[in-house]
Amino acid sequence: MSTSKKYFISGGEVETLIKALLSPMAFAVGFLMPFLAQTMIALGFMSNGWQVYAVSALLAMTFGLMAQLRGSWIWVK
């Protein structure tokens, strides 16, 4: 009788998932985008609505893509 456990996800899949969750694009979408939107609303640059989130998504994705392609954030290298 075998006592080994069967898992639905392998070690390589876990590594890929962690890399995706900690990628610059995930950081940009998960943290920078809402942070920029709330900052623009709080400082009165834009009113609350879909436009502020579209602008913040554009800015955050730009920074995230630059960090993804460079391998680091602008202020690090």
pLDDT tens for the chain, 77 residues long, are 556 666 677 667 777 777 777 788 888 999 999 999 999 999 999 999 999 999 999 999 998 888 888 887 766 65
Six-digit token pair at 2? 């075998």
Q: In this structure, how many other beta carbons lie within 10 angstroms of the beta carbon of residue 49?
A: 9
Average pLDDT score over the chain = 83
The structural domains of the chain, with segments of one domain joined by +, span: 24-70
Q: What is the pLDDT of residue 3?
A: 61
Taking CA atoms, 66 is separated from 13, 22, 54, in Å, by: 26, 15, 18
Please tell me what DSSP assigns to residue 28.
I
Q: Is 44 left (phi over 0), alpha (psi -120 to 50) or beta?
A: left
